[in-house]
């Protein structure tokens, strides 16, 4: 199949996707919102009063979902604090604080910590995915690196009772990533929501309640 035909075939499937249609109808920026929605409804992750950080948040559908859930009725305020971080720009999401920058760098972390005012984070979300090259070894290493970044951020900022939800992919580094989660959290579950396409290698890892450091 030529690249042009493949692109047309993918676009046709994409536009006919029920979650794409639902996202358009409900005003979400991406169908990914429904992956988080299903996981949240199963695990009760997003709750009033929480501090939530969305890593790699652009274009913003996960931040939108969290913001809508925590919105105070009849107000523009949220019952909680939601912070989005990304290297890319993001259109504003009502009630959500957004910092464009690299969360590995001191200036971005300083902005985050200023907003936190010493509070621990209840929930860290990461729908980050690397730019894939098609070279299996390279792509696996990039996935593993993003998972390590998210885990390291969670170890530093989560409350002991906090949770980390990340997008991951089955592949050569998956078992190592899973082991890292099990070393960090008391409870680790693997989620494959309905909005995650059947043919996709993506899954979501949910770690809950930090283990005491050795």
**One pLDDT digit (tens) per residue for the chain, 214 residues:** 455 654 665 455 556 788 899 999 999 999 999 999 999 999 999 999 999 999 999 999 999 999 999 999 988 899 999 999 999 999 999 999 999 999 889 999 899 999 999 999 999 999 988 777 777 778 778 888 888 999 999 999 999 999 999 999 888 888 999 999 999 999 999 999 998 887 788 899 999 999 986 5
Q: What share of the chain is helix, strand, coil (3-state, %, to 5)?
A: 40, 25, 35
Q: What integer pLDDT is reported at residue 92 of this predicted model?
A: 96
The residues assigned a catalytic role are: 167
Strand partners, 98: 84
Query: Order of strands, edge to edge, in the sheet holding 202-210?
Result: 97-100, 81-86, 51-55, 121-126, 158-169, 202-210, 185-191
Q: What integer pLDDT is reported at residue 97 of this predicted model?
A: 96
Strand partners, 78: 71
Q: What integer pLDDT is reported at residue 156 of this predicted model?
A: 93
Distance between CA 69 and CA 37 in Å, rounded?
10
Q: What integer pLDDT is reported at residue 131 of this predicted model?
A: 75
Q: What integer pLDDT is reported at residue 84 of this predicted model?
A: 96
């Amino acid at each position: 199949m030529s690249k042009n035909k493949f692109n047309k075939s993918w676009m046709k499937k994409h536009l006919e996707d029920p979650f794409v249609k639902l996202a358009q109808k409900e005003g979400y920026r991406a169908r990914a919102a429904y992956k988080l929605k299903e996981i949240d409804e199963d695990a009760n992750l997003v709750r009033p009063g929480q501090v939530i950080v969305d890593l790699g948040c652009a274009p913003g559908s996960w931040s939108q979902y969290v913001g809508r859930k925590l919105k105070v009725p009849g107000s523009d305020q949220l019952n909680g604090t939601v912070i989005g971080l990304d290297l890319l720009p993001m259109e504003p999401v009502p009630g959500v604080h957004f910092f464009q920058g690299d969360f590995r760098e001191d200036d971005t972390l300083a902005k985050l910590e200023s907003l936190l005012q010493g509070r621990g984070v209840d929930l860290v979300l990461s729908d980050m995915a690397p730019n894939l090259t098609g070279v299996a070894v390279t792509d696996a290493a990039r996935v593993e690196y993003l998972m390590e970044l998210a885990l390291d951020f969670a170890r530093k900022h989560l409350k002991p009772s906090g949770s980390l939800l990340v997008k991951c992919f089955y592949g050569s580094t998956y078992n190592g990533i899973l082991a890292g989660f099990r070393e960090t959290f008391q409870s680790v579950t693997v989620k494959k929501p309905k909005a995650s396409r059947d043919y996709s290698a993506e899954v979501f890892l949910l770690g809950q309640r930090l283990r005491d450091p050795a």
